[in-house]
Structure 1
Amino acid sequence: MGYPVFAVTADLVVLTIRADRLCVLLVKRGESPYLGRWALPGGFVLPSEDLDAAAARELEEETGLAVGTVHLEQLRSYGAPGRDPRQRVVTVAYLALAPDLPVPSAGTDAAFASWVPVEEVAELAFDHAVILGDGVERARAKLEYTSLGTAFCGAEFTVAELRRVYEVVWGKELDPRNFHRKVTGAGEFLVATGGSTTRDGGRPAQLYRRGAAVALYPPMPRSGVVGARAGG
């Protein structure tokens, strides 16, 4: 008895912060199925490439950014029968995070691409709404116990700029002094550069860069540990 033939795709949940809003990269499909429907960028894995290579290729085609310039990690796999009307398709989704990415250009099967605020995303093609939801929750959760928040920042940033990342991703306002104490007290999370800037307004603020820490200790749970003033 032979095994059924199926295809494999690599789909991307690419998140960035633009104008103080968490945005996802979406493409408007230029071919069937779901012609004209918004979808996550992605495509079929070529016979000559592995999964990570396919994700890297799709990322560069859609954003112009190479792997190593953005955070890219495997999210999970999706293989429910009927998720693609063309044939049995299993997708391996990836999560990509980067600061203020540029205006995207659509790939070969898309009419055009756009950054869309996550809270404004409507109906998506395939099961991409589920994949997007999983990607956003992964990003939110990892800010609690890893240094991933700095992936949304430039090479040098202030604590206020990092706090704004957490506020945008978590959707809640945070107490500035409590946040400053938490992030500067987490071992090897931030490294002072010795420079300062006034771009936040007011007095000069110290500049930091990402430290060597991967896991945050102590962690910063969303539920009150950072000192939220308002929920969202």
Structure 2
Amino acid sequence: MINVDIFLVTYLSISSAMSQWYGLRPDSHFTPIRCKEQYVASLLHCAALGGESKDVRFSFNLEHKYCRWNCTNTLLNTTETQNKDWSLYVIKEKRNAALMRPSTASSVYSNDPSLWGTQYATDGLHSFYKNTHIFESRLETSPWIMVTLDGPLLLSFVRVYNRGDCCGERFHDVAFEVSIDRASFEQRGFFRGPGVTGRMEEVLLDYPAIGQYFRMRITQGSSNYLNFEEIEVYTPY
């Protein structure tokens, strides 16, 4: 029997001595699809596979010693998504540091922040809610959005809710960058994509990702919109 109060040290990063801690999650609004899956010797082995792939979550089948990781997560309006034979583990998270924080962007679609402004990216509302507003930039080469956090923080991972009505493929080649002083940004994560309409994407940040300013920026292509429903930036403590 797996103890729900035990967290696992899963791996040592090649680039640092940072350990990731996963905790058992009894239910989830996300159902995994298109996972990698294989037989493993133990739960710790499964956790190591997830950690090496920089996954925020993985699943373990205790009876058959099977592991699922590197999944695509589809958002569902139910908590009845976890198969009873599989235990879901998720990176330990303390809080969403981006929630209701001030934000700015390279541009706003139609120059109308009342309909497409950055405030909708951190208001806590996404596709579980009806009539959700989204943030959208104008057409640019490298559109970006920046969130000002409440002081320099150690950041663990980022969760982005892609827009649910259309155009999910616009979310591609996205750099996740942090800065202490807003003058110099360092890339600590990347999502190649392309994204999928109505899907949630999670990106585990490189350690250490420390900053007061968090920026998300498209880095490839010449004609890009940056648009999504919500961004969540999680701290581990």
Q: Same fold (TM over 0.5)?
A: no
Structure having the larger proportion of residues in helix: 1
**TM-score after normalising by structure 2:** 0.26
What TM-score do you get using the length of structure 1 for normalisation? 0.27
